[in-house]
């Protein structure tokens, strides 16, 4: 694992660490945009609108993923905050405490926590939900065909998510439970242990790599299915349904704190996956029914002129 790549010596600011997760996250966004642009052209949709919607959705996804991570991993970040305040709030706290006292220490601790949160991963469903809300707003504002654009976005999200999981593997977040399988991975970086809490010197399920392979396979399947879809929205909701099943299974092998419900019977993401799968099935049935109804109406419209002519005398 390589949580960091190198440091940039900047004047005044000092050395800035370039994290592998951040580089791969940017790469995932670029890959998703490239795929979305190409599919948009095939559909006759302005690629620039798709890219603009994607930028808004990406920004929303970053915020949503971090917020849900903070919620489900609250105990870890609460302990981190207490530790930082006891240590003086880091460099920012030390600089502010002579002027602001204890409040400066708290500000420094929050600043350091915010930086750690940015460097760590995020909860995909938090980002996905936020991105969908913002994207729907953008589609309505610019009167874009919602389900047609959603179909364009689905494979793009899948490939971006696959690359992002490699970033999680590099950072050590989203780690698995202990395993004795020969492909188990052992994390050794004390930096990652402090940053994301990954257990060190223990063989773990490489759940990040499982996620990478599953999302990459889903990306390929969606590209194959795309030209064979029967109605607009089918590719998107097939993606939601498929990823929900993938995520539910992967959660069984995750070892990181993710929040739990119903006395630990389900993780937060498993609960969301069940809801998402249920909605996806309902929407697939609804859109399929609507498409069938439209085809019947079109068929009746084509028959009307013939019936009106009647038999020739």
Q: Is residue 250 part of a domain?
A: no
Work out the burial of residue 297: count CB atoms within 10 Å of its CB; fewer than 13 is exposed, 13-18 middle, 19 or more buried: exposed
Relative to beta strand 266-267, strand 260-261 is antiparallel
Tell me the C-alpha distance between 210 and 308, whole Å.
62
Establish if 288 belongs to a structural domain. no
- Tell the burial category of 66 from Cβ atoms under 10 Å away from its Cβ (0-12, 13-18, 19+): buried
Residue 208 lies in a domain: yes
Q: Are 281 and 241 in contact (CB under 8 A)?
A: yes
Q: Does the structure show a pLDDT above 50 at 312?
A: no
| Residue tagged 């936020």 (tokens) | 130
Quote the DSSP letter at residue 67. Answer: H
- Quote the CA–CA distance of 233 and 170 in Å, as a whole number: 34
3-state secondary structure of 14: strand
Show the domain range for 13.
4-233
Least confident of 56-60, 84-88, 241-245: 84-88
Q: What angle do CA 12, 117, 52 make, to 5 degrees?
A: 90
Instruction: Note whether residue 218 is domain-resident.
Output: yes
In a domain, 277, yes or no: no
Listed in sequence order, the residues at least 6 apart from 15 whose beta carbon sits closer than 8 Å to its beta carbon are 7, 8, 9
Mean of pLDDT over the chain? 85
What domain count does the chain have? 1
Domain membership flag for residue 200: yes
Q: What pLDDT digit, counting tens, does each position of 170-226 carry?
A: 988 889 999 999 999 999 988 888 778 899 999 999 999 999 999 999 999 999 999
User: Residue 78: which of 124, 107, 110, 104 has the closest Cα?
Assistant: 110
Residue 304 lies in a domain: no
pLDDT digits (tens, 9 = 90+) for 238-274: 999 999 999 999 999 999 887 788 888 999 889 999 9
Whether 309 is covered by a domain: the verdict is: no
pLDDT in tens, 275-298: 999 999 999 999 999 988 765 555
DSSP lists the bridge partners of residue 254 as: 176
């Amino acid at each position: 694992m390589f949580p960091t790549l190198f440091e940039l010596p900047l004047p005044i600011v000092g050395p800035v660490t370039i994290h592998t997760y951040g580089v791969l996250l940017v790469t995932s966004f670029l890959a998703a945009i490239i795929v979305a642009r190409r599919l948009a052209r095939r559909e006759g949709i302005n690629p620039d609108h798709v890219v603009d919607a994607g930028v808004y959705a990406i920004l929303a996804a970053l915020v949503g993923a971090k917020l849900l991570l903070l919620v489900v991993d609250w105990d870890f970040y609460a302990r981190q905050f207490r530790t930082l305040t006891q240590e003086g709030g880091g460099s920012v706290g030390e600089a502010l405490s002579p002027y602001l006292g204890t409040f400066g220490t708290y500000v420094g601790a929050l600043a350091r926590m915010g930086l750690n949160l940015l460097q760590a991963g995020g909860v995909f469903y938090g980002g996905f939900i936020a991105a969908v809300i913002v994207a729907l707003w953008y589609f309505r504002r610019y009167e874009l065909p919602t389900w047609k654009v959603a179909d364009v976005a689905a494979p793009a999200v899948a490939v971006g998510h696959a690359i992002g999981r490699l970033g999680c593997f590099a950072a050590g977040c989203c780690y698995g439970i202990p395993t004795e399988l020969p492909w188990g991975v052992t994390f050794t970086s004390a930096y990652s242990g402090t940053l994301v809490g990954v257990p060190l010197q223990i063989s773990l399920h490489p759940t990040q790599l499982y996620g990478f392979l599953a999302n990459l396979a889903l990306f390929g399947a969606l590209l194959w299915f795309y030209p064979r879809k029967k109605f607009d929205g089918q590719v998107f909701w097939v993606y939601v349904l498929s990823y929900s099943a993938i995520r539910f299974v992967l959660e069984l092998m995750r070892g990181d704190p993710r929040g739990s419900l119903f006395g630990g019977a389900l993780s937060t993401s498993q609960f969301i996956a069940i809801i998402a799968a249920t909605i996806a099935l309902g929407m697939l049935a609804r859109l399929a029914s609507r498409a069938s109804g439209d085809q019947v109406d079109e068929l009746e419209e084509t028959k009307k002129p013939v019936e009106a002519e009647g038999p020739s005398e």
